[in-house]
Amino acid sequence: MSVNKDQLTKLQEYLWELPKETRPGMRVPARVYALEELLDAILNDRSLEQLANVATLPGIVKASMVMPDVHEGYGFPIGGVAATRYPDGVISPGGIGYDINCGVRLLVSSLTYGQVKKRMEELSKEMYRQVPSGMGKGGFVKLSARNMDKVLSDGAAWAVEEGYGTPRDLEYTESHGCLPGADPNKVSDQAKKRGRDQLGTIGSGNHFVEVGRVGKIFDEEAADAYGLRPDQITILIHTGSRGLGHQVATDYLRIMMGAMPKYGIELPDRELACVPLSSPEGQDYFKAMCAAANFAWCNRQVITWECRKAWENVFGKSGGELGLLYDVAHNIAKIEEHLVDGEKMKVIVHRKGATRAFGPHYGELPEAYRPIGQPVLIPGSMGTASYVLAGTDESMASSFGSTCHGAGRRLSRRGAKKQVDAPKLLRELKDQGIYVQAGSHRGVAEEAPVAYKDVDLVVETVHQAGIAKRVAKLRPLGVVKG
Amino acid sequence: MYTIDHLSHTADIRLLLRADSREELFRAGFEAMNEIIKPGACRMPCPCIVTQTIEIASVDDTTLLIDFLSDVLTLAHEHKAVFCELNFLEMNANKLKASIGGRPANGFEEDIKAVTYHEANVRQNTDGKWETFLIFDI
């Protein structure tokens, strides 16, 4: 089934709906947040077919949704949100993705661009030295079996106890860097082996560490609460649970594939494999997923320590502290309460390439952020811009407290490699004052700005739709990637 | 005999595999995956110092193929090795036993996160050829 524009109903200026009658098996409509010009690009791949498939999941409520940075994935589209009824609705590993708790963390310094400008190249190189990147690069932490289980149970708190951060870091992390439902015994030995030397590493693909500066501030009050000011130097970290998370997803997809007939579940795509959360298989997966999410938060905490080390190596004590603004996941499933048809309901929210965007007064947030809403971190691509947004009451009401997660790919990796001359791009970026330290030219070409949608349009959509509000724009100065 | 064609996909790697037999189709998937994680590595003679045996039972051909490749990928990560040699010891529509041999890889070129079930459908077409789509999450 392919989806065309005629099948979509325009609900609002930035919101489109594919009615549930569009294809057999859809239990709810499918909704798309997009400016019309983004929608045209979205219709070019199979994102919306995949979104219609998600709408067939047993127990799904309200609608399957995609954010404006959506692109086709496998099973779920990337940029997707789906909530299922708790506890008997399904949980689907495909709705979280293989990189469990892939997410973003933003550090803020007390220095301004003017103070670091002449040392940007040196800082980028030092970041590259301190933060292992690329395939097969292990980190300096080699976890014993006992410590692995502690990481899986305690998440970022393990790193803080070991001296790789401060208690304040935990306060400024989603779920304080630990999902309490984790059970290390539900994570396979193979997954643990893969993760043993991967703490403190970013990996490859679209993962990176980016030094930036605060450009435009859109909302003074929110920026002030978040501690952002013009020209301030920031560091953005984007990575997840590495091989450990990939293995957890692989292991449980196989288990669910075998278990689905027992629960009478038939789906249009095997990659949507799922079981009721309340089933033994669902419970086991949820516990393993929480453990992998904890590993990811611990990973970003250790990377934070590496970034702080690099910062101090370059600027010494006069560089001041790198404080944590926030850390938020964009590949995860969580049990939350939301309004569905006017009633408060406990649901299992799957976010695959979508960021939690809780509005004001949410108790988990640091006190200073509560009047504003949760910080939402949107990485752009090398050479463009990243954004800090804030969650809103509207996102709570409309999109299960979720919004976009990035610019969203536009070109395939092969397509990008065909179009991009990596050495030339690196020179051009350097001329713009952006220093890229990368493991390969191939990686640079695949992640070139041309491969991505216009992040400004993506953010414009979610801002106008009200499912996040713009706070500040960050300009890249140095990028470290595998 | 088998062929491996690269098709368009916005974020990941999408292939169409065609082969004369089920065994050759699995071999095509194996070769395609190696060529992604370590291009050219298996075109050189392989002093296979790491050997492993894989034994899988699955509900059908398609699941068997994906589970087989997933196991090879897991072993590649676990041993930080590229496995170039493949011998099927036993194979039918929902069961296989194979030995694989490889050598340390000194890092991979591409991080395949997973071999996905999405669009995979092992079948014999009207010409009697075996074929399937295969999507790797990268």
Under 8 Å CB-to-CB from A319, ≥6 apart: which residues? A109, A111, A311, A312
Q: What is the CATH number of the domain that holds B48?
A: 3.55.10.10
How far B78 CA lies from chain A's nearest CA (Å)? 6
Q: Is B10 on the interface with A (CB under 8 A)?
A: yes
Domain count, chain B: 1
Q: Which helix (H) or strand (E) holds B82?
A: strand B81-92
How far A281 CA lies from chain B's nearest CA (Å)? 17
Which class for A21: exposed (0-12), middle (13-18), buried (19 or more C-beta within 10 A)? Answer: exposed
CA atoms within 13 Å, Cβ hemisphere of A358: 21
CA distance B51 to B48: 7
Under 8 Å CB-to-CB from B67, ≥6 apart: which residues? A254, B56, B58
Contact across the interface for A74 and B70, Cβ inside 8 Å: no
Contact across the interface for A74 and B106, Cβ inside 8 Å: no
CA distance A76 to A50: 6
pLDDT class of B60 with cuts at 50, 70, 90: very high
Q: Is B133 on the interface with A (CB under 8 A)?
A: no
Backbone φ and ψ of B101, nearest 5°: -130, 145
CA distance B27 to B132: 13
Residue found by looking up tokens 């589209």 in the block: A77
Pairing type for strands A64-74 and A30-33 reads parallel
Chain B neighbors of A204, CB-CB under 8 A: 110-111
Chains A & B: contacts with CB separation below 8 Å: 95
Q: Let me know if residue A419 belongs to a domain.
A: no
CA gyration radius for chain A?
A: 21
CA distance A288 to A184: 7
Q: Is B109 on the interface with A (CB under 8 A)?
A: yes
Chain A neighbors of B74, CB-CB under 8 A: 190, 194, 247, 250
Give the nearest partner residue to B77 out of A74, A194, A249, using CB atoms: A194
Contact across the interface for A205 and B62, Cβ inside 8 Å: no
Quote the domain boundaries for residue A284.
5-410+452-481
List Cβ<8 Å contacts ≥24 apart for A304-307: A304/A105, A304/A107, A304/A164, A304/A165, A304/A169, A304/A237, A305/A159, A305/A164, A305/A165, A305/A200, A306/A130, A306/A131, A306/A200, A307/A107, A307/A127, A307/A130, A307/A131, A307/A209, A307/A235, A307/A237
DSSP secondary-structure letter at A315? H
Longest dimension (CA), chain A: 64
Give the residue ranges of DSSP H helices in A109-241: 113-116, 120-130, 145-154, 156-161, 167-171, 189-195, 220-226
Asked if residue B26 lies in contact with residue B88, where contact means CB atoms within 8 angstroms, the answer is yes
CA distance A472 to A227: 11
Q: Let me know if residue A438 belongs to a domain.
A: no
Give the nearest partner residue to A135 out of B109, B114, B118, using CB atoms: B109
CA distance B49 to A107: 45
CA distance A317 to A311: 9
CA distance B22 to B62: 10
Q: What is the CATH number of the domain that holds A396?
A: 3.90.1860.10
CA distance B59 to B131: 18
CA distance A59 to A347: 9
Give the residue ranges of DSSP H helices in B15-136: 22-37, 61-79
Q: At what angle do helices B61-79 and A242-259 cross, to 10 degrees?
A: 160
Domain count, chain A: 1
Minimal-distance CA residue of chain A relative to B120: A270
Chain B neighbors of A410, CB-CB under 8 A: 10
pLDDT at A250: 96
Single-letter residue type at A100? I
pLDDT at A102: 98
Q: Which helix (H) or strand (E) holds A251?
A: helix A242-259
Sign, CA torsion A159/A205/B114/A379: positive
CA distance A274 to A76: 12
3-state secondary structure A379-430: CCCCCCCEEEEECCHHHHHHCCCEECCCCCECCCHHHHHHHCCHHHHHHHHH
Buried b (16+ CB within 10 A) or exposed e, B94-124: eebebebbbbebeebbbbbbbbbbbbbebee
pLDDT at A185: 98
How many C-beta atoms surround the C-beta of residue A293 within 10 A?
33
Asked if residue A234 lies in contact with residue A473, where contact means CB atoms within 8 angstroms, the answer is no
Residues of A with CB under 8 A from a CB of B: 45, 71-75, 78, 97-99, 134-137, 190, 193-194, 203-205, 243, 246-247, 249-250, 253-254, 257-258, 269-271, 273, 409-415, 440, 442, 482
pLDDT at A363: 94
Contact across the interface for B119 and A411, Cβ inside 8 Å: no
3-state secondary structure B57-69: ECCCHHHHHHHHH
CA distance A114 to B70: 50
Asked if residue A337 lies in contact with residue A83, where contact means CB atoms within 8 angstroms, the answer is no
Chain A neighbors of B77, CB-CB under 8 A: 194, 243, 247
How far A413 CA lies from chain B's nearest CA (Å)? 6
Residue found by looking up tokens 């595998």 in the block: A482
Q: What is the ipTM of this complex?
A: 0.91
Asked if residue B103 lies in contact with residue B48, where contact means CB atoms within 8 angstroms, the answer is yes
Chain A neighbors of B114, CB-CB under 8 A: 98, 246, 249-250
Minimal-distance CA residue of chain A relative to B37: A135
Asked if residue A300 lies in contact with residue A327, where contact means CB atoms within 8 angstroms, the answer is yes
Q: Which of A50, A252, A271, A414 would you mutate first to test chain B, the one with the most B CBs within 10 A? A: A271
Tokens standing for residue A38: 């983004």
Digitized pLDDT (tens) for each residue of chain A, 482 residues in all:
689 999 999 999 999 999 999 999 999 999 999 999 899 889 988 999 999 999 999 999 999 999 999 999 989 999 999 999 999 999 999 999 999 999 999 999 999 999 999 999 999 999 999 999 877 678 999 999 999 999 999 999 999 999 999 999 999 999 999 999 999 999 999 999 999 999 999 998 889 999 999 999 999 999 999 999 999 999 999 999 999 999 999 999 999 999 999 999 999 999 999 999 999 999 999 999 999 999 999 999 999 999 999 999 999 999 999 999 999 999 999 999 999 999 999 999 999 999 999 999 999 999 999 999 999 999 998 889 999 999 999 999 999 999 999 998 888 888 888 899 999 999 999 999 999 999 888 889 988 999 998 999 999 999 999 999 999 999 999 999 87
Backbone φ and ψ of B99, nearest 5°: -110, 140
pLDDT at B10: 82
Active site (catalytic) residues of A = 405
Chain B neighbors of A45, CB-CB under 8 A: 10
Quote the domain boundaries for residue B21.
2-137
For residue B129, the SS3 value is coil
Buried b (16+ CB within 10 A) or exposed e, B37-50: bbeebbeeeeeeeb
DSSP secondary-structure letter at A452? B
Can you spell out the DSSP letters for A194-218? HHTT-TT---STT-EEEEEEEEEES
Q: Let me know if residue A417 belongs to a domain.
A: no
Q: Is B91 on the interface with A (CB under 8 A)?
A: no
Q: Let me know if residue A90 belongs to a domain.
A: yes
Contact across the interface for A136 and B119, Cβ inside 8 Å: no
Q: Is B99 on the interface with A (CB under 8 A)?
A: no
Cis peptide before A87 (omega within 30 of 0): yes
Give the nearest partner residue to A205 out of B114, B118, B138, using CB atoms: B138
